Structure 1
Amino acid sequence: MLRDSGDALATYWVRREAIKTLRQLDDRALHDIGISRCHIESAVAGTIDQLELVRLR
């Protein structure tokens, strides 16, 4: 149980760091990797719809 909590906390911090890093990129760099600024959190969480990603390109 403690390990599960630790894993969840580690996952949370890794995702927050990824979001922070992506937010520091300019819009052109984000477009180059296939996401828009409004989709950063969804992309990091893995919940972004693939159809949305296709429309961005």
Structure 2
Amino acid sequence: MLRVSGDAFATYWVRREAIKTLRQLDDRTLRDIGISRCQIETAVAGNFDLELVRIR
């Protein structure tokens, strides 16, 4: 039980750091990697469907 809680906390912490890092990028860089600012949390959570992204 403790290990599961520890793993969940570690996953949470890694995702928060990824979100923080992506938020520091400018909009052009985000666009270059295929996401917009409003999609950062969804992309980090893994719920981002790249098939729906339109490359401009």
2:13 counterpart SS class: helix
Residue 21 of structure 1 is matched in structure 2 by 21
Please, what is the CA RMSD of the aligned residues? 0.9
When normalised by structure 2's length, the TM-score is 0.90
Structure 1 counterpart of 2:33, which letter? I
Q: Distance in 2 between matches of 1:2 and 1:51?
A: 38
Alignment of 1:1-57 (within 5 A): 1-53=1-53, 55=54, 57=55
Which is helix-richer, 1 or 2? 1
Structure 2 counterpart of 1:48, which letter? F
Q: Distance in 2 between matches of 1:8 and 1:52?
A: 29
Q: Distance in 2 between matches of 1:40 and 1:28?
A: 14
Q: Which runs of 5+ in 1 are unaligned?
A: none
Displacement of 1:16:
0.2
Aligned residues: percent identity? 76
Aligned length: 55
* Alignment deviations for residues 7-57 of structure 1 (CA, whole Å, 9 cap, x no partner): 00000000000000000000000011111101000000000123332x2x1
